[in-house]
Amino acid sequence: MTGLVVAMDGPSGSGKSSASRGVARALGLRYLDTGAMYRAVTWWMLQRGVDLADPEAIAARALQPVLTMGTDPDAPAVAVDGVDVAGPIRTAEVTAAVSAVSAVPEVRRRLVAEQREIIGAGDIVVEGRDIGTVVAPDAPVKIFLTASADARALRRTAELTGTTVEAQRAAMARRDTLDSTRKTDPLAKAADAVELDSTALNLEEVIAEILRVIKEKE
């Protein structure tokens, strides 16, 4: 890697996306949402009727969808086979299915390789669940962003369509368990990551804290 790489990890609803885009915008860096890549593959699988209860069926088609990721923090585009899926990948249906797809080793190997290629040039903020531990373990700045269960459910409900706070609280508890216990690249805090609890902070305060950490690492 060359240039600055900021690895932003944490569970869903912790505020990673908004904070990552804000930091990238403030520093003139690129931005990559790795979670959107897993969502895009999940959307593709659902569209084609792949049995998501069958890891072998998912693995067999893991290399087929062609992803195109934009890295502009003001317009983080994502397309599959040339189709803009920035909206469709945020539905409750995709959210409910993405953990099953992202747990398949063949999917993770394929996407981690693509993520590393994008990150390679540096000058980027990358958000996900395994950036500091797997995708970019040598990143000079690692943040692990957390928040209370209620705060996370409220934030995720605002991001998604066709859902409720109660449904998201239950769904996120389930996904936390799946993400942190999967055999391949589980959600985990890197040993050298700075943990930041965003529960009582607004977006501007979270961004300011992350910028402070980056400045201290210089």
pLDDT tens string 113-171: 999 999 998 999 999 999 999 999 999 999 999 999 888 888 888 877 778 888 888 88
Q: List binding-site positions.
A: 10-18
Cα separation, 123 vs 39, whole angstroms = 24
Q: List binding-site positions for ATP.
A: 10-18
What lies within 8 Å, CB to CB, of 151 at 6+ separation is 13, 198, 199
Higher pLDDT, 99 or 194: 194
Give the pLDDT score at 92: 84
Say whether pLDDT at 218 is over 80.
Answer: no
Q: At 81, phi and psi to the nearest 5?
A: 50, 40
Closest CA to 127 of 206, 45, 217: 206
Say whether pLDDT at 1 is over 50.
Answer: no
The stretch 69-98 carries a mean pLDDT of 94
The pTM for the full model equals 0.89
